[in-house]
């Protein structure tokens, strides 16, 4: 019996896998940089912030991938700009301002969808429909992935400098740090919009952040961390879809659940910062 037979026989399984591959290649590296910039909560907040815009697109155009995507992008950018404005004009830091905005955005989106839609529509938007990815949604996801990767490669060096030594970048290039941060958040929102059409607004951040955080238990340098994070995301996607097929589980949550299991495993045995590695380090230090 060929375990991978579902991907050979069925278009919808191939579409689901390809869409997850696209997200893994573009969204997961952004998740690594978000965690290094101590903005892990921002990914979760922005995934919820997408919902009101998607709801507005749904109210006017129904379950239109393009309309909901454009609405979600606009809403996510508005929340990102509001968060930046609040952090600059008050004592709140950016992660705290995100947490203050995202629950309101989530509640507004659910309310708007409930005005016109059914419970099934709400579930599809919140949790996605990974096994029903259309050709249009797949093309949009692939295009966003390619564009996001191209921009990330272009801004990679200054973005890394800003991540680890923002004061240096501000002194050498005034105004560049703020522009980089804004462009980086735009890429995050763009990938979350791409992800919500597949995994839903609640699950899309899972493939962005969980593999990214897991990878930090296996490497201390940035490039290996990025590579490991993408590999974990790809592996979670493949195993999650197979688990969904053979166990009749919802596909999107199954993918994120697999990445969460890998996260717990990484916490325990990761060779860089895992529990066992730290235990052996402290034990060898005590013996010496």
% residues pLDDT > 90 (the chain):
36
What is the CA 39 to chain-centroid distance, rounded?
A: 12
Task: Give the highest mean pLDDT range of 11-20, 33-42, 162-171.
Answer: 11-20
pLDDT at position 284 is 59
Confidence at residue 58, expressed as pLDDT on a 0 to 100 scale? 83
How far, in Å, CA of 105 to CA of 49, rounded?
5
pLDDT at 159 over 60: yes
pLDDT at 226: 96
Task: Provide CB contacts within 8 A for 170, sequence distance 6+.
Answer: 176, 177
What pLDDT was estimated at residue 20? 94
Q: What is the mean pLDDT of residues 73-93?
A: 82
Q: Report whether pLDDT(60) > 70.
A: yes
Over residues 5-21, the pLDDT tens digits come to 999 999 999 999 999 99
Residue 266 predicted with pLDDT over 60: yes
DSSP string, 216-227: TTT-SSHHHHHH
What is the residue-averaged pLDDT of the chain? 85
Neighbour count for residue 157 (Cβ, 10 Å): 9
CA dist 1 and 17 (Å) reads 20
Higher pLDDT, residue 254 or 96: 254
Mean pLDDT of 150-178: 83
Report which secondary-structure segment, H or E, holds 104: helix 94-116
Question: What is the predicted pLDDT for the residue at 62?
Answer: 77
User: Distances in Å between the alpha carbon of 208 and those of 11, 120, 175, 196, 214?
Assistant: 25, 25, 28, 11, 11
Question: Would you say how long the chain is, in residues?
Answer: 288
The alpha carbon dihedral of 104, 107, 108, 109 has a sign of: positive
**Can you give the pLDDT at residue 80?**
84
Cα 272–Cα 203–Cα 240 angle in degrees, nearest 5: 70
Return the closest-CA partner of residue 52 out of 193, 231, 171, 180.
193
Residue of 70, 88, 20 whose CA lies nearest to 232: 20
Tell me how far apart the alpha carbons of residues 30 and 47 are, in angstroms, rounded to a whole number. 13
What does the DSSP 8-state code read for residue 63? S
Question: Against a cut of 0.95, is the pTM above it?
Answer: no
Residues 245 and 242: their CA atoms lie apart, in Å, by: 5
Q: Which of 164-178, 198-212, 227-241 has the highest mean pLDDT?
A: 227-241
Cα distances (angstroms) measured from residue 268 to each of 222, 244, 276? 21, 26, 6
What average pLDDT does the segment 126-133 reach? 81
Q: What residues contact residue 54 under an 8 Å CB cut-off, 6+ apart?
A: 68, 69, 71, 72, 75, 109, 125, 196, 201
Angle at 207 between CA 189 and CA 278, to 5 degrees: 120
pLDDT above 60 for 173 = yes
């Amino acid at each position: 019996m060929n375990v991978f037979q579902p991907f050979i026989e069925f278009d919808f399984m191939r579409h689901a896998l390809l869409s997850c591959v696209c997200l893994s290649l573009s969204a997961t590296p952004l998740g690594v940089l978000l965690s290094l910039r101590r903005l892990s909560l921002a990914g979760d907040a922005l995934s919820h912030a997408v919902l009101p815009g998607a709801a507005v697109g749904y109210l006017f155009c129904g379950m239109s991938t393009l309309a909901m995507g454009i609405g979600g992008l606009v809403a996510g950018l508005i929340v990102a700009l509001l968060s930046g404005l609040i952090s600059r004009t008050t004592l709140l830091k950016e992660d705290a301002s995100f947490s203050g905005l995202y629950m309101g955005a989530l509640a507004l989106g659910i309310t708007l969808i409930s005005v016109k839609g059914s419970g099934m529509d709400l579930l599809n938007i919140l949790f996605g429909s990974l096994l029903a990815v259309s050709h249009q949604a797949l093309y949009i996801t692939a295009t966003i992935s390619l564009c996001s990767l191209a921009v990330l490669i272009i801004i990679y060096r200054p973005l890394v400098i800003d991540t680890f030594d923002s004061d240096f970048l501000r002194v050498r290039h005034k105004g560049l740090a703020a522009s980089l941060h804004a462009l980086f958040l735009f890429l995050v929102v763009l990938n979350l919009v791409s992800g919500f059409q597949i995994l839903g607004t609640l699950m899309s951040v899972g493939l962005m952040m969980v593999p990214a955080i897991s990878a930090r238990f296996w490497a201390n340098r940035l490039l290996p961390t990025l590579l490991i994070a993408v590999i974990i995301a790809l592996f979670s996607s493949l195993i999650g879809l197979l688990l969904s097929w053979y166990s009749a589980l919802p596909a999107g949550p199954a993918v994120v659940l697999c990445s969460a299991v890998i996260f717990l495993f990484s916490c325990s045995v990761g060779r860089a910062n895992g529990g066992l590695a730290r235990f052996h380090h402290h034990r060898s230090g005590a013996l010496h």
